[in-house]
Structure 1
Amino acid sequence: MRFRQVHLDFHTSEAIEGIGQSFSKQQFQDMLKLGHVDSITVFAKCHHGWAYHPSSANETHPHLSFDLLGAQIEAAHEIGVKTPVYLSAGLDEKLARRHPEWLIRDQQERISWVSDFMTPGYHQFCMNTLYLDLLAAQVHEVVAHYDADGIFLDIVGVRECYCQFCVAEIRRRGSDPRCEEDMKVMWEETYANYANRMNETVHALKPGLPVFHNSSHVSRGRRDLVHLNTHLELESLPTGGWGYDHFPLSARYAQGLGVDFQGMTGKFHLSWGEFGGFKHPNALRYETALSLANGARCSIGDQLHPAGMMDPATYSLIGEAYREVEAKEQWCRDAVSIADVALLSAEAAGHSFGRPEADLGAGDTGAVRILLEGHYLFDVVDTESDWSSYKVMILPDSIAVTEPLKAKLNVFLESGGKVLATGRSGLAPDGSRFELELGAVWQDNSSFKPSYMRPEFELPSLRGSSFVVYTEGQDVTLAPNGVQLAQRENPYFNRDLFTFSSHQHTPSNLKEAGPGMTEGPNGIYITWNLFEDYALKGSLPVKEMVKYALDRLLASATAAPAGSDGPDGSDRSDKLEGSGDSDDSGGSGGKTIEVNLPAQGIVTLQQQNADNRWVAHLLYGPPVRRGQNVEVIEDLPVLADTRLSAAVTEEVKQVYLAPQGTSLPFRQNRGIVTCSIPAWSCHQMVVLQF
C-alpha cells in the first residue's frame, strides 16, 4: 500500500449536465503532484448508480461523453500514481426506483437509508436479491477492461433485512422470519456470500488484486469479516461524527490483525459530499501524523466537482500534509507496535451480560481516552490476539470470564501479567462470583446510582474527598487475600419523586458501604463501570483513579514488554551508558516510555525490526469546539522542554530526530535511556537506533 492516497468520490446526479467537461489530463496530474499524492481511488460507479465509463453491465451517466475512468487511470499511471477503483455496492439510486423489491426492509417494510421515495437520499440494497448478479457483472467489467490497482466496494456489511427475498429464503430453510437467531445466521451468510462472490469475481481475472469492502467500521473481534478484505481502510473523519478519539481505538486494534491498513480522513470541514468545505491545513497535518504514529498509511477523502476539474485549493491543502508524510515514510514502513497495556475490547469479548452494543462502545471509548491522556503504550485486543508481550490487561466494565477466556487469562497471569477489571468484568457469565483473584467477593448489583468513591490514596490533582461516580456499581466485600485501596459510599437515597435533594443527585451519607477498589494476587478491581463513566462524563477523579491503578499494576507486573529481547534473544538490561550528557534522573516507573506531554498529547512506540530501531511518535494537536458539537484542530502549539525516558534492553547507539536527522544527546543507565527534545509542534519522531 502507498502512504499518500486520496479517496476521490464522484456521486453525481443525472440532473446535472456537462459531466467531466472540464477534465484535463495535465490539470489532473498537476493537482496530484501539488498534493504529493501517490495513490488515488477513482470511480467506476457512484451512489446514484451511474457508470463513468462505457458500460454494458451498467449505464453510463447520461451527460458524460467520454471514458472518464479510463482517462483518470491513464493520467495517474503516467506519473507513477496508483489507481484503486471505487464502485458503490450497497447503493444504486437509479436502480432503486426500478426495483424497489430489491431494497433492504425492516419488519414494517420500511426501507433505508431514507424511509420513502418522497425524501431526497439513497436506498440500500439487499445482497440476497438479483441485485448481486448485476453488481458482480459491473465489478467483472471494470477489472477486465481497466488497469485497476485495487477495488473498493462501498456501503456493505452484515445487514438486518426482512425483504420478501429474505423471508422466502428463511422459510425455504424451514424456519420463520420471527425467529431472530435464524435470521441473524442468514444475514451473516448473505454478507459472506456477497464478499466471497466479489472477491472471486476480481481474483479470477487478477489474482491478488487488493479488494476492500467498506462498512465504515471494523468490528472488533470479527476477524472473519476482516479477512474478507486484502487490507483495511479505517474510515474516521473526526468532524464527520467519528471524533478525534475514534481512530486511535480502531487503529490500535487493526495493527495487531496482520493486514496492511490506512487511516481515512477527509479534507472537508464536516464530512463527505461537502462542496466548498475545508479544514485547516494543521488539522490534516495532525490527522495524517496520527495515522503514521499508529502504524497506518494515509488516505484523505475528496469529491470531484461534476465538471471534472480538480480543485487547486484542495490539493494545496492536501499537499501541506502529504509533503510531511513523504519525508517520514522510511521511519514508518513495516512497523510493529510496542505496548505495555492491552485493552480487551468489550465489543470483541463475546459475553457482556447482555448489555447494549452502545454501552460496550462507551466502555472501550472511555478506556482509550484514559490511556491516551495518561500516555500509556497500549493495544486493543480480542480473544484471538497474542497477549504474551503485555504487562497489564484491562477488562472494561462488563466482560464475563467464560471458560475459554479464563484459560487464556490464566496463561497471561502465570507469565507475570496483571489484570485491571471494572464493573461486572471478572465475574462468571452467570454473574455470581469472580473468576479472578482481584481481592473482592461479589455480593450484588448496587441499588444506588450514582454513588461515591473515597480513595485511600491522594489523587495528584485533588485533596481527599468523596468523588461521585455516575454509572452502575457493584456491592462487594473484601476477600481474605485482598487489599482495600478505596471505599465505597452511598447517597442518602436515590433521587425519586418523594426522595430528592438539591438540583441533581443526593450527596454521600459519608458512611463506608464496602470496598470501592481492591487488589488481589491477579490485579485490581474497581466496582463501577468507570470507563463508561469517563466516556460519558469525563470526570477528572475517575481518570486519576484508573491511572493510579494502572501505574500500580505496571510497577508490579513482571511480564516482558514487546521488543524487550535483543536480536539474539538475550536480555540486554545491563548495558553501559550511551553517549551524551543528558540527566538520567527519573526512570520509567513500569512504563516502557515516559513523556511529560500535556493531557491531549499522544505517544506511541513502533519497532522497525529490519532497521533495528524504535521510533517514538509524539503528537500534540488539541481540538477546539466550533459551531454545534464540531471539534476542529487549527492551532498547533509549540512544545518546549519535552523529556523522554525509555526502558530498553539493548545498548542504544544513537538517538535522533526524524525526519530531520538531528542527533540528540542522551544517557543510558541501568536500562533507562533519557533525552530532552528540542521545541517541536504537531508531530515529532524520536528514533532509538540500536
Structure 2
Amino acid sequence: MSELRYRQVHLDFHTSEYIPYVANNFVAEEFVETLKKAHVNSITCFARCHHGWLYYPSKNRPDLIHPNLENKNLLLEQIEGCHKNNIKVPIYTTVQWDGYISAHHPEWLSIDENGEFINSQKVPEPHFYYTICLNSNYRQYFKDHLQDIIDVVKSENIDGFFMDILFKVDCNCENCFKQMRLKGLNTESKKDRIYYSTIMLDEFKEEISDFINSRVPNTGIFYNSSHVGPESKKGLDSYTHLELESLPSGGWGYDHFPATMRYSRGLGKDVIGMTGKFHTYWGDFHSLKNKAALEFECFNMLALGAGCSIGDQLHPNGQLSNAAYELIGSVYGKVKEVEKYCVNTKPLSEIGVLTPEEFYAPGDHNLGIHPSLIGAVRMLQELSYQFDIIDSHMDFDKYKLIILPDVINYSPGLEQKLNNYANNGGKVIGTYESLIVKNNKEINLYGNVYVGDSKYDREFVLPNDVIGKDLYKEEYVMYLKGVEIKSVESEVLMQTVKPYFNREGRTFCSHQHAPSSKEYGYPAVTKHHNVIYLSHPIFKIYRKNCPTWCKFMMKDAIENLLGDKLIQHNGPSTLLTSLNEDKETREKVLHVLHYITEKRSEDIYTIEDIIPLHNTEFKVFTGDKKVRSVKKLPELTEVNYSVEEHYISFMIDKIEGHLMLLID
C-alpha cells in the first residue's frame, strides 16, 4: 500500500506583518479535534510564508519570526498535536517568492532583458511575486533555512517538505549568464536562457534533496511548480511523490487535472491531487466551494488514481473555520470509506494519447495544456474510453490504440516507433499536422502525401456509413483550416466538400462562411492498414466550438480500429467512467461520476447541483475471466449481472454523484 495519506489538507498561512495578534487564538487541542472530525489524516503546515516570515522559534534567523506572532511555537505545537493523533504534518516553505527577500536583497532577484525584476504573476504592487534567482547567494540562504527548520523541529518529527514556487524563468542576471557560458549556451537567446533555467532548476532540486536526505532520511520531498508534465521527468529522482496543484476555479479549470493526472500516473511516483476549499483562488478568505464541486474534484482524484489534498488558509488568529472543516469532512468521510479500494490500484487503459506538451519550445511558465489535448481528453471522457496521456518515450505496447492529437511534431524516431507498433498489430489515429513533414512529398505513415495547407479557411465533411454513421448524410462545417492530402496507398473513408470561396477580397456570403459548392475536395479521413488519419484539427475544433459531429467522427474512427471497448453505458455524455485494477487481487474497481460543470459566473466554472441518473445500463469487458460478483462500494451490496460473450451487463437504478463498483 502507498505510504501517502489520501485525506490531506494544504494549510496556507501567508500572513501580512500589518496584521496584529497572529495565532493568538490557536489552541492545539482544538486544532487537532477539528481535523479529526473532518477525517483529515495529513496537513501541510507552514515554516515560512511568501511574505518571508517564519512561524517557528528560529535559531538561525529569530529576526524573521513574524513580528506579531503571539505563539512562537505555532508550527511545533501543530506537529506535536497532530502526531499524537496519527496525523502527518509535512512542512511548507516557499522557494522563489519571498516578500522579505524582495525588499532586502534585490540583488538576489531574477531580472528581464531590460534589467527589471521579473513579476511572474504580472500583477501590480503590492505583492510578493518578484521571482528569486536560485543562482544567487539565496541558494545558501535557503539551505541555511532548511537546516534551521531541521535543528528546531528535529528530524524525527519531520514527515516531509513541501517546497513551493519553482518556475522556469527568463533570467538575465550575471550569475545565470556565467553558468550559461560554461555550458556553451547563448545568453542573447531567450530560448537558451529559458532552457538553461530548466537545467538550473533540476540541479537545484538535486542539491536540495541530497541536503535533506542526508539529514532527514526517508522523508517526503516535493517541489511545486503548479504543473507536472514531460519537462518534469528529468528531475523526478529528486521527488518522493507528486502533488498536482489544480484548483479548477483558480485558473487551472476543470480540464487541467484529468489531462495532467492521466500523464503523471505513468511516471512511477505516487500522486496526490490538490484542489481548494475556496470558491475562487488561494487566499479567498471566508469563501466556501460548493459541496458538489468539492465532491467531484476529490472523487475524480480517486477515480484517476490519486490521493486527495484540499487547500485551505488558516485565519491569522490561528483558528480553523468550522464551516470549512464541516465541508471538508462531509467529503473526506466518504473518501475514508472507500480509500482502501483505491490505494493499491492501477488504471486499465485501452488508448494512449500523445501529449503535445512534449514538443513545446521553451517558453514562459504556463499550465501547459494544449487546446488539442483538452479537446482529446474531453472527447474520450465523453465517449467513455479508458486512456492515458503519454509521451513518445513511454511504452506503446500497453495500449490497443495510440492517438496523435493535431500537433504532434514529426521525428524519424517517433515515426519508426509507430511503424513498428502498427506492424505488430497496434492501431494509430493521427490528426491534422501530427507526424507530418511539410516539405516532404513522400508517402507517410498514413499512406498519404502531404500537399499543403487547405485553400479554404472553412470547408465541409460529408458523412457516410463508415465515418459519421449516426449523422445526417449531408455536409458539416469544419471550423478550422485543415491540410490538403493526396491518398496514395490509403483508403478514403470520408471526403471534404469545398465551399464556393473564402471570405476574402470581394467574395463573401452572409454572416460567416460561404456554403457548400457540392464539389468534392481532398480526403478528410483515410485508412492505411491499422492507421487512420483525419486531415482537420478535430480536437482543437472540439475544444473551441464543441461540434458533436467531430465527436461522432472520432467515435467511428476508433470503433473502426478497436474491437472490444472496456466500458459501455447508455447514460449521457456527462457520465464519466474510470476502470482500475487492484495490483494484488486483480479485482476491478469501476468509478462512475455524474457532476455537471457550469459557467454561471463571468469568471469561473463550478458545480452546484447533483442531478441523479436512473436505470443506467453498463457493459464491462471481462474477456475470458469469470466474474464472481459485482458489488456497490462501500456497502458491498450485490449487483445482479448477466454474462454476454466477453462482457458482463448490469443496471444501476440510481447514480447520485459518485458510484464505485467492485468487480471480483
TM-score tier by shorter-chain length is over 0.9
Query: TM-score normalized by structure 1?
Result: 0.90
Contact 1:439-1:479 at 8 Å conserved across structures: yes
1:25-424 equivalence runs, <5 A: 25-58=28-61, 59-65=64-70, 66-110=72-116, 111-113=118-120, 118-146=125-153, 147-171=157-181, 176-220=186-230, 222-348=232-358, 350=359, 361-424=370-433
CA distance in 2, matches of 1:461, 1:274: 47
Matched, 1:594 2:603: no
Distance 1:637 1:260, change over 3 A: same
In the TM superposition, residue 69 of structure 1 has moved relative to its aligned partner by: 0.6
Q: Deviations over 1:619-640 (max 9, x none)?
A: 0100122221321111111111
Matched, 1:478 2:478: no
Distance 1:464 1:267, change over 3 A: same
Residue type matched to 1:33 in 2?
A: K
CA distance in 1, matches of 2:78, 2:172: 40
Unaligned runs of 5+ in 2: none
CA distance in 2, matches of 1:486, 1:522: 16
Residue type matched to 1:290 in 2?
A: N
CA distance in 2, matches of 1:128, 1:23: 38
In the TM superposition, residue 383 of structure 1 has moved relative to its aligned partner by: 1.7
Q: Deviations over 1:94-147 (max 9, x none)?
A: 110111121122212232136698544421111111111111111222234321
Q: Deviations over 1:561-608 (max 9, x none)?
A: xxxxxxxxxxxxxxxxxxxxxxxxxxxxx2011122211111011000
1:460-471 equivalence runs, <5 A: 462-471=471-480
Distance 1:432 1:81, change over 3 A: farther
CA distance in 2, matches of 1:68, 1:326: 28
Contact 1:14-1:63 at 8 Å conserved across structures: yes
Percent identity (aligned) = 34
Matched, 1:426 2:435: yes
CA distance in 1, matches of 2:203, 2:305: 31
Distance 1:495 1:203, change over 3 A: same
In the TM superposition, residue 681 of structure 1 has moved relative to its aligned partner by: 0.9
Q: Deviations over 1:422-443 (max 9, x none)?
A: 001132475544531x343221
CA distance in 2, matches of 1:473, 1:429: 13
The CA RMSD measured in Å over matched residues stands at 2.2
Distance 1:166 1:13, change over 3 A: same
Match of 1:4 among 2, 7, 31: 7
Contact 2:98-2:128 at 8 Å conserved across structures: no
The equivalent of 1:582 in structure 2 is none
The equivalent of 1:575 in structure 2 is none
The equivalent of 1:621 in structure 2 is 595
Distance 1:271 1:205, change over 3 A: same
Name the stretch that deviates more: 289-298 or 452-461. Answer: 452-461
In the TM superposition, residue 181 of structure 1 has moved relative to its aligned partner by: 4.9
Number of aligned residues: 651
Q: Deviations over 1:4-34 (max 9, x none)?
A: 0000000001111101001011210121012
CA distance in 1, matches of 2:368, 2:393: 23
Q: Deviations over 1:414-458 (max 9, x none)?
A: 33211010001132475544531x343221121321222222237
CA distance in 1, matches of 2:573, 2:410: 33
CA distance in 2, matches of 1:600, 1:522: 30
Contact 1:351-1:429 at 8 Å conserved across structures: no
Matched, 1:515 2:523: yes
CA distance in 2, matches of 1:304, 1:406: 52
SS where residue 357 of structure 2 aligns?
coil
Contact 2:51-2:128 at 8 Å conserved across structures: no
Name the stretch that deviates more: 365-374 or 188-197. Answer: 188-197
The equivalent of 1:574 in structure 2 is none
Match of 1:635 among 590, 609, 612: 609
Match of 2:635 among 653, 660, 680: 660
Q: Where does structure 1 differ by over 6 angstroms across 4 or more consecutive aligned residues?
A: 351-354, 356-360
CA distance in 2, matches of 1:439, 1:254: 33
Unaligned runs of 5+ in 1: 556-589
Distance 1:7 1:477, change over 3 A: same
In the TM superposition, residue 411 of structure 1 has moved relative to its aligned partner by: 3.0
In the TM superposition, residue 461 of structure 1 has moved relative to its aligned partner by: 5.9
In the TM superposition, residue 384 of structure 1 has moved relative to its aligned partner by: 2.2
